[in-house]
Structure 1
């Protein structure tokens, strides 16, 4: 099992003290690679058919639902920033 992780938003950060939020709370997007794993054919949706894959994405609404988690994440971050700003002004 291997994880290929995306670099954080602050790739030039020299330590977690320089970028405390980005180094701790950035969501860790990654690609998971399974080696020597048997996937039963009844679990395979598409095999080497790029056109069917594209149709599945655009014709089923997956593109709209896939963005929902990003909007939820951004809403939570904005609520956090607003709460910090409110505490500062108080």
Structure 2
């Protein structure tokens, strides 16, 4: 008797699972194009923080290049072989 009652109630209990699964799949299918589109937009756009980081890297590279050129000029001036464009400070006697 118990197994017969359980067999009669089982389809009713499982129908909610099936409906929930179908509804979940339908939500996934509907939201998939939105997720794909937003991923595409994220791939081609740059956030403000990414732009700031990129600009910071560029500024650091420029500073490194200026420092390297300044050290090379100072070295040439120290050795007494400056280029015509070098601005060597005259040393007091």
**So what's the TM-score if we normalise by structure 2?**
0.34
Which structure features the higher share of helix residues?
2
Indicate the structure whose relative CO is greater, using CA pairs within 8 Å and at least 6 residues apart: 1
Which structure features the higher share of strand residues?
1
